[in-house]
Copies of this chain bind each other. A is one copy, B any other.
Amino acid sequence: MADESFFKHETAIVESSTVGAGTRIWAFVHVLPGAVIGAACNICDQAFIENDVRIGDRVTIKCGVQVWDGITLEDDVFVGPNATFSNDPFPRSRQHPERYARTLVRRGASIGANATILPGLTIGERAMVGAGAVVTRDVPPMAIVAGNPARIVGYDGAGSLSAGALSTTPAEVGASPTRVAGVTLHRLPYVNDLRGNLSFGEVANQVPFEVKRYFLVYNVASKEIRGEHAHRSLHQFLICVHGRCHVVADDGTNRQEFVLDSPTIGIHLPPMVWGIQYKYTEDAVLLALASDRYDPASYIRDYSEFLELVKTSH
């Protein structure tokens, strides 16, 4: 029998015995026996919760939402009205897959009104799925997605993209601090004569470390993200030498977005800064100068692990 510490509207049908304290379940809701629902949730009219479902604490499920077998909603998730999940990538009537695709909505993420989530995806921590979006790929932590199919249009908390972002680029040659600890933005020297343009950087003057490696990123489909990790000890200096891309830097506390759109703008990402590169134009070429050779062990690829490491390093 269900925990009586939760509220159930008289028309709701709650067959599960695992519902947390303080949770409210409203009119015409139907919860099947196997569902596990946390505390302090709010499950609105006409919602439907199947059996193989895990719902954390403080989750909001608005009207008209179904949560199917194979879906996990972590703590503090918000699911907007009529947002629709699915768990079979190629459904045919009365043909059931051996195992339903699993969907994971990570802690603090929100799914907008009437959004559609294709089967088998992960929606990252604090990500925001826009109203009406049709999500066909994993959504990274903090990313904001919109459209059909959904594309990343920004990052939560990374600030005003256009004016605000670039206004921090120093007008004069030199470096300037940013909102993110240790990250500096550099206006690089350049010479413009009739023969064309030449910009440059020298170790110690513009590039704040010895260069042991370079790499070039190019031919990135605009819908793709390249880079989304931190490094334990590596310094990087990034310049978009052709085209344009965006860089989000995040020290675990502050986050800021930068537009790299000129060979005369560089950004220094020191160790223990989470960096994301995205919104590559079709013709973008990103040059990265690195302080050390390639070492897979240097990468921190899980944002939660990164946050943990940042916390413990203080």
Contacts and interface: CB of A to CB of B under 8 A. Distances in A.
Interface of A: 11, 13, 26-28, 30, 40, 42, 44-46, 48, 58-60, 62-64, 66, 68, 76-78, 80-82, 84-86, 90-94, 108, 110, 112-114, 116, 118, 128, 131-134, 146-149, 194-203, 207, 210-221, 224-226, 239, 241-243, 263, 280, 283, 285, 287, 289, 293-294
Contacts of A213: 200-203
Main secondary structure of the interface of A (DSSP, over half): loop
A213 B211 CA distance: 9
A110 B93 contact: yes
A80 B91 contact: yes
Contacts of A239: 216
B113 A114 contact: no
18 contacts: A26-B30, A27-B30, A44-B48, A76-B92, A91-B110, A93-B110, A113-B116, A131-B134, A194-B224, A195-B226, A197-B216, A197-B218, A198-B218, A200-B294, A202-B212, A207-B214, A211-B289, A214-B289
Contact of A200 (B11, B113, B202, B214): B214
B219 A200 contact: no
A45 B48 contact: yes
B241 A287 contact: yes
A82 B93 CA distance: 16
Contacts of A42: 93-94
